[in-house]
Chains A and B, each alone.
Chain A
């Protein structure tokens, strides 16, 4: 049954008439047209669908839309502000930390969540924090470097 779900989406108060048992992933993609959040496995194993829920990285394929009610959802489309890339996005471009780019939104959202919680992660903490996001092209080494760079920039308050 459809019902009205209210939540904050990429900084804006949002209301949607949706079936709250649908996953947040497909509501974002199909209802809101926010297709930056990717489907990779639908089982929470790959991390391509990672979004921030109240600043916490979550697998949107494992979360019902109803669970997002009253919360603050940020997707890859909501990360840049006024056309200016978020430091994590910027660092991914600078380090060329992607190849096919399919896992990239999930990587960036997970890294952003990681840095919000721990602004100065060690190399090991970055690897641990990113462990469950999968990249098949093998961009890992550059992703780690990008997270290190973003960490520095975010701490500098830029």
Chain B
């Protein structure tokens, strides 16, 4: 599990040719045994329906190599951004191949060394990529056993493997190592067998806790992120930015900037930048450029956006429908109608979008903080008109992504500037640029109509989703009459979002879980039932029931009708194949409206858990990050002008917010591993909203639940 991402030199190594073809692997990597493999369906790889999926440029998307020194290396386009797959994927590989986990290395996110991968998101690395990688490892082991069988003159069935050494069971003195077998060989196998579901219980490394394998180099400052690299002759760039989305440059005067020592101004159409070998001189130069703009912005702001969406001419798409809503309404004793609002959110990774680009001859190399190295490669190919084989993207360690680094505008900008200036260009977005060009979590409106009968059974569920995504919009509960309708951007119609939006950790599931679980809580209160009892009464999903039971045990839940004054909330949900349940306790200051979350417990069923330590950390991170969208985070804007562009005005969770966190991972060794980087964030908004209601009787329909909004809700309570 040794890291590949250690020294600058490793990244700056230039002796590798571009556009590596399969036949080139031997030439570059030397001998050994190579197994090429791919995910088995387009949906596995892309998370998209097959018809939307792009055709793969190659017939495989990862490979592993057994080298002559016995080292096992997995080459994959996946990247490491804190989610911990640099630690967990080798565990899976080590078990399947019967080698020590330390012998497994990962080479990640290098478009020349690694085959195509769509990107690292959607909690796919473990649940989708993992099984395929394991199948490839099993194939490699079969090849090795064949070789050993021939060399030792005994049948494969008589061989045993341990720690990379194959031994004749009848003659323990006769053995051969993987490295010895790979020596001088050039064996290439294309994995043709769909991975079978394995018996996960036999494993040595999988299921055992490992600390981050990259922790040592991250506590010493040795780990290199894109901005830490340096090339001879490198300059720092700053780009002239418009004041708002939709603004067009009408005139520009850069004479002031050119007076700064060492500064050069470059321009290619709308791309105007300054370069200087000192970052701060570039900073000083960019503000000396005088520019004027014309404005054509959408007449919408963060207060009017919800009405704007409801009025928009939308494409109406019924996602799910069962039974008859009207019949359900007739059968209901009480009917409930709610409207939930969710704002735009910024990703705010602490590392801003960063890229270093170098053009040598006709070859462009870009080191970038991106979740999508191949997407960036294709973007550069497209925008700079370079052939694919002349573009190489390398991803060093990434300082947080959360979906925001699925985009890679900075990499294309750096590449353009490297071409324009003929120098290696380092582009590190400022925090202001990061907030401005972020692909925000989209704002949305969710309207729910629902009803219960006298016994507290939900009779109908009419769920309407406007402009926020559908992930997590499933009804979950056992409702005879239900319908989910998505109001979406009309193709060819005027855009509804005034700026770019994209995936934000567990994309849109946070909003959907918030709306659904608050509505459930409203009905439980109206039914005069304990909210846990109400959920269990209406829920057949055994996995969710198990999570609810586990979280109640961990939390020490005592039943009670809401509002009880205790400040306790419940929420459940499903994301990335995993089931989660949350419970929380809050304190609400009724004079200021401030909410303090005292404790949160979360139970998660993620199938087989590869690395419990890593998974627990992800759950804790989800809970902490989730408090942000719940309590403070909201992009403020007027037309295309983003107004809060700093950590002083866009508040993310801090140490003083830290609640007591308890996590439970259910024992599910019989089921394949599921996503772990996102599920535990989805219920935070809901669990806190429900806890606020339990504490005060005030119902919140709008995130974030700021003191002002809590006070407003208290007035209505």
A-to-B contact residues, CB < 8 Å: 19, 22-23, 26, 29-30, 33-43, 45-46, 48, 75-77, 79-80, 85, 89, 92-94, 96, 98-105, 108, 126-128, 130-144
Since A75-B221, A103-B399, A128-B655 are in contact, a sample of 9 more A-B pairs with Cβ atoms closer than 8 Å, ordered by chain A residue number, is A42-B430, A46-B350, A48-B350, A98-B82, A99-B83, A102-B349, A102-B399, A127-B656, A140-B624
Indicate whether B378 reaches chain A with its CB closer than 8 angstroms: no
Whether B351 is near chain A, meaning CB under 8 Å from some CB there, is yes
Of B216, B219, B280, most buried by chain A (CB within 10 Å of CB) is B219
Report the minimum CB–CB distance from A43 to chain B (whole Å): 6
Return the chain B residue nearest A18 by Cβ. Answer: B278
- If over half of A's interface residues share one DSSP class (helix, strand or loop), that class is named, otherwise mixed; here it is loop
Chain B residues touching A, majority SS? loop
Instruction: Name 6 interchain pairs, CB-CB below 8 A, sorted by A.
Output: A40-B351, A45-B648, A76-B221, A77-B220, A99-B82, A127-B656
Chain B residues with Cβ below 8 Å from A96 are 211-212, 215, 613, 617
Q: What 4 pairs across the A-B complex have the smallest Cβ distances?
A: A36-B221, A102-B399, A100-B82, A138-B624
B620 close to A (CB within 8 Å): yes
Is B621 in contact with A137, judged by CB distance below 8 angstroms? yes
- In the complex, chain A residues whose CB is within 8 Å of the CB of B82: 98-101, 137
Q: Which residue of A lies closest to B680 (CB)?
A: A138
Residues of B within 8 A of A137 (CB): 82, 400, 621, 625
Contact A23 B280 (CB under 8 A): yes
Q: Which of B642-675 contact A (CB under 8 A)?
A: 646-648, 652-658, 661
Do B661 and A101 touch across chains, with their CB atoms under 8 A apart?
no
Residue among A108, A135, A144 facing the most chain B CB atoms (10 A cut-off): A135
Query: CB within 8 Å of A: which of B214-260?
Result: 214-216, 218-225, 227-228, 230
Task: Please indicate which of the listed interface residues B214, B221, B397, B401 has the most CB atoms of chain A within 10 Å of its own CB.
Answer: B221
Min C-beta distance of B481 to chain A, whole Å: 39
A144 engages B431 (CB within 8 Å): no
Q: In the complex, which residues 605-662 of chain B have their Cβ closer than 8 Å to any Cβ of chain A? A: 613, 617-618, 620-625, 646-648, 652-658, 661
Contact A135 to B620, CB < 8 A, known contacts A26-B280, A30-B279, A140-B658: no
Residues of A within 8 A of B657 (CB): 140
| Complex Cα gap A80–B219 (Å) | 10
**Complex: A35 Cα to B76 Cα, angstroms:** 27
A40 to B617, Cβ gap below 8 A?
Answer: no
Q: Which residues of B contact A (CB under 8 A)?
A: 81-84, 211-212, 214-216, 218-225, 227-228, 230, 278-280, 347-352, 397-402, 428, 430-431, 613, 617-618, 620-625, 646-648, 652-658, 661
Given contacts A102-B400, A131-B655, A136-B400, whether A108 and B219 have CB atoms under 8 Å apart is yes
- Cα distance, A40 to B230, chains bound together (Å): 18
Nearest residue (CB) in A for B400 is A100
CA distance A19 to B350 in the complex (A): 27
Q: Which of B219, B279, B625 has a CB less than 8 Å from the CB of A93?
A: B219
Contact B351 A37 (CB under 8 A): no
A100 to chain B: which residues have CB within 8 Å?
81-82, 349-351, 397-401
Q: How close is B192's CB to chain A, nearest CB, in angstroms?
A: 37
Q: Which residues of B contact A38 (CB under 8 A)?
A: 225, 227, 350-351, 399
CA distance A108 to B215 in the complex (A): 13
Q: Do residues A127 and B655 form an inter-chain contact, with CB atoms below 8 A?
A: yes
A37's nearest neighbour on chain B, judged by CB, is B221
Q: Nearest Cβ in chain B — how far from A74, in angstroms?
A: 12
B660 — nearest CB in chain A belongs to which residue? A141
Q: How far is the CA of A103 from the CA of B82 in the complex (A)?
A: 11
Question: How near does chain A come to B437, taking the closest CB pair, in angstroms?
Answer: 15
**Smallest CB–CB gap between B282 and chain A, Å?**
10
Tell me the nearest residue of chain A to B349, going by C-beta: A136
Minimum CB–CB distance from A12 to chain B (whole Å) comes to 16
- Give bound CA distance, A42 to B429, whole Å: 11
B667 to chain A, nearest CB (A): 21
Given contacts A101-B223, A102-B225, contact A139 B617 (CB under 8 A): yes
A102 touches B350 (CB 8 A): yes
Question: B280 to A22, Cβ gap below 8 A?
Answer: yes
List the B side residues contacting A136 at CB < 8 Å: 347-350, 400, 402, 625, 652
Q: Closest approach, in angstroms, between the C-beta of B410 and any C-beta of chain A?
A: 14
| Bound Cα distance A134, B214 (Å) | 20
The answer to whether A92 and B219 touch across the interface, beta carbons within 8 angstroms, is yes
Contact between A34 and B625, CB atoms less than 8 A apart: no
Q: Which residue of A lies closest to B626 (CB)?
A: A138
Complex-state Cα separation, A46 to B435, whole angstroms: 14
Q: CB distance A42 to B400 under 8 Å? A: no
Residues of chain A contacted by B402 (CB below 8 angstroms): 136
Q: Which residue of A is nearest B681, CB measured?
A: A138
Q: Are A99 and B219 in contact (CB under 8 A)?
A: no
